[in-house]
Chain A
């Protein structure tokens, strides 16, 4: 069964500290993995998208890693800011891109991050 598991479920850190969020998946065939940030009351916003051939991708203070062999991804946040408080959602696409199809997207339930002053 295709699944995406995220950990921890929630996390509280102090402003300025680093943190790492985890995503484990059992999805086949794997096409790509995305990390989204969702602020409270807003829609998700894409942070990174990685295909199976990419093992790291950065977006400012956010760095995502992907190990396609172990089917694990992480999102590392450096020097956290209060504005990083949000839910972070890992999404795995289960299909190759053929005929323009978006394929089957499997969503994790997210990690809720709270950054305290």
Chain B
């Protein structure tokens, strides 16, 4: 298995632009997570899905952020409009449904908003 796949690996954009991050979870996993990591705040859980359904989006910072999971093999995290404070590394992770199951992280997308 190729593991969790994220694209793009790096994204540089200007303030106000729309940004879409993509994730393909490990085949067979039915939980998917979006995280944000910064030096100041560390890793933060933004949202997670079970069986394609959003379960908890309380970590999503504001309405500019939205996430979708149209099917079991694809998810997007969209920021519209982007702001410089959104600059961070965004990770996607997947696991089997159970609170104790291991989460497998993708390589991350480094987002820079100028």
Taking a contact as CB atoms under 8 Å apart, the answer to whether B107 and A105 are in contact is no
Contacts of B18 in A (CB 8 A): none
Instruction: Flag the segment in B38-46, B60-68, B70-78, B80-88 that touches A.
Output: B38-46
- Min CB gap A23→B, angstroms: 13
Chain B interface, DSSP helix/strand/loop, else mixed: strand
Which residue of B has the minimal Cβ distance to A50?
B100
Chain B contact-residue range equals 20 to 34
Q: How many residues of A contact B (CB 8 A)?
A: 27
- Min CB gap B63→A, angstroms: 22
Q: Cβ of B19 < 8 Å from any Cβ of A? A: no
Taking a contact as CB atoms under 8 Å apart, the answer to whether B100 and A100 are in contact is no
Q: Which of B45, B100, B104, B106 has the most CB of A within 10 A?
A: B100
Contacts of A45 in B (CB 8 A): 105
Taking a contact as CB atoms under 8 Å apart, the answer to whether B42 and A89 are in contact is yes
Given the interface contacts A89-B42, A97-B98, does A43 sit within 8 Å of B107 by beta carbon? Answer: yes
Question: What does the 1/0 interface line of B26-39 toward A look like (CB < 8 Å)?
Answer: 00000101000000
- Measured between alpha carbons, how far is A27 from B56 in the docked complex, in Å? 18
B interface residue numbers (CB < 8 A to A): 4, 31, 33, 41-45, 48, 50-51, 55-56, 91, 93, 95, 97-100, 102-108
- Given A43-B108, A105-B45, A109-B41, 20 other A-B contacts at CB below 8 A? A31-B99, A31-B100, A34-B102, A42-B107, A43-B93, A43-B105, A44-B43, A44-B91, A49-B102, A89-B42, A97-B98, A100-B98, A101-B50, A101-B99, A102-B31, A102-B48, A102-B55, A102-B99, A107-B44, A109-B42
Q: List 6 A-B contacts (CB under 8 A).
A: A41-B107, A43-B4, A43-B108, A46-B104, A107-B45, A108-B42
